[in-house]
């Protein structure tokens, strides 16, 4: 979400998504509030600090780790305040193990992705950090059914060997798909509730994510191509929920709500899926985060998602 006021963001989220509030991230506050720094602050027995080139792993918690943890506590305080007495689903999100490995540097300046041992250590540390974070959310919102979202925008590049090295002149070797799947399964396995994996990059590996334990896949709907049809159809028939990003994440004129989900109806017809499946299989979302939007547009985008979802449920055909 845009801005830096945690309580205002929490009130906006709780007021817009009355049945599915989420723990907002406010990256405009600076390093430690960004998605990488926020998740790095959750790690157990691994720490990171900001360098000119990005976030780098170190031996001790420093100012950047303390700042990330402080902002997370502030956001949790705001969520707790805005959801007093609430019972229902609440979404929290963190960066997944592969995007984290592609973003965090080791002491030599190369990404953790370049070292299989570092990837394993990072994944284990993240799993324990997520376990503690989820328990804290549950403590603060006792009536919550927590939904965990893992943000993996770099996943396709990791699988294809497209993540650039520190020099920028080469790329790291592609990671074996079975290793990627097993590591994602470890991260998802810390949570007894639903897990969503989000990627706003092209060519989301739907089948791999489903096998890794994702109950839902979140993606930018505009990046789909017809070659994704088979895997999407299989995912839906297997019970995987789709978080379809159909509302732009930055300021623009929004079409009518029914127009925003017209492509979803077209996809459904193309796949030959039952129209009555739409309401239980699809969640309408922004295409990606709203941090680059104005506060007024962010509020309108969330409200537009709700109206578009109602349109889809009321008129699936």
In a structure prediction context, what are the per-residue pLDDT tens digits for the chain, which is 317 residues long? 999 999 999 999 999 998 999 999 999 999 999 999 999 999 999 999 999 999 999 888 999 999 999 999 999 999 999 999 999 999 999 999 999 999 999 999 999 999 999 999 999 999 999 999 999 999 999 999 999 999 999 999 999 999 999 888 899 999 999 999 999 999 999 999 999 999 999 999 999 999 999 999 999 999 998 889 999 999 999 999 999 999 999 999 998 999 999 999 999 999 999 998 998 899 999 999 999 999 999 999 999 999 999 999 998 87
Strand order in the sheet with 88-95: 88-95, 144-151, 195-199, 216-220, 241-247, 282-286
Residue whose token pair is 């602050």: 41
Taking CA atoms, 11 is separated from 43, 73, 79, 148, in Å, by: 28, 16, 8, 20
| Rounded Cα gap, residues 112 and 106, in angstroms | 6
| pLDDT at site 168 | 84
| pLDDT at site 170 | 94
| pLDDT at site 283 | 96
| pLDDT at site 167 | 84
User: Shortest CA distance to 204 belongs to which of 151, 263, 246?
Assistant: 151
| pLDDT at site 49 | 95
HSE at residue 116, side-chain half, CA atoms within 13 A, is 6
| pLDDT at site 214 | 97
Q: Which backbone phi and psi does 69 adopt, to 5 degrees?
A: -70, -35
The model scores a pTM over 0.85: yes
Instruction: Find the DSSP H helices in 113-261.
Output: 116-140, 155-160, 177-188, 206-211, 229-237, 257-260
User: Shortest CA distance to 47 belongs to which of 32, 34, 35, 33?
Assistant: 32
Q: For residue 282, is it left (φ>0), alpha (ψ between -120 and 50) or beta?
A: beta
How far is residue 285 CA from its own chain's centroid? Answer: 11
CB 119 within 8 A of CB 101: yes
| pLDDT at site 169 | 87
């Amino acid at each position: 979400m845009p801005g830096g006021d945690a309580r205002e963001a929490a009130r906006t989220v709780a007021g817009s998504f009355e049945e599915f509030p989420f723990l907002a991230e406010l990256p405009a506050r600076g390093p430690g509030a960004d998605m990488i720094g926020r998740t790095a602050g959750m790690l157990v027995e691994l720490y990171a600090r900001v360098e000119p080139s990005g976030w780098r792993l170190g031996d001790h918690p420093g100012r950047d780790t303390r700042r990330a943890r402080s902002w997370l506590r502030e956001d949790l305080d705001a969520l707790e305040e805005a959801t007093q007495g609430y019972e229902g689903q609440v979404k929290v999100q963190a960066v997944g193990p592969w995007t984290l490995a592609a973003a965090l540097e080791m002491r030599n300046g190369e990404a953790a992705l370049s070292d299989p041992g570092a990837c394993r250590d990072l994944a284990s540390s993240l799993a324990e950090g997520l376990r503690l974070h989820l328990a804290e959310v549950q403590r603060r919102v006792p009536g919550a059914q927590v939904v965990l979202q893992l943000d993996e925008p770099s996943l396709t590049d990791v699988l294809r060997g497209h993540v650039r090295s520190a020099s920028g002149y080469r790329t790291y070797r592609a990671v074996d798909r079975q290793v990627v799947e097993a590591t994602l399964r470890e991260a998802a396995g810390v949570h007894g509730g639903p897990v969503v994996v989000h990627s706003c990059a092209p060519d989301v590996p739907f089948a791999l994510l489903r096998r890794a334990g994702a109950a839902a896949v979140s993606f930018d709907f505009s990046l789909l191509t017809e070659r994704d049809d088979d895997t999407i159809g299989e995912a839906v028939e297997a019970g995987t929920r789709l978080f379809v990003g159909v509302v732009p994440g930055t300021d623009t004129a929004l079409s009518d709500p029914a127009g925003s989900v017209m492509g979803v109806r077209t996809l459904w017809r193309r796949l030959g899926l039952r129209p009555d499946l739409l309401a239980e299989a699809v969640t309408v979302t922004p295409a990606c985060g709203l941090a680059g939007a104005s506060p007024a547009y962010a509020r309108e985008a969330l409200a537009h998602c709700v109206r578009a979802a109602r349109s889809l449920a009321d008129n699936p055909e």
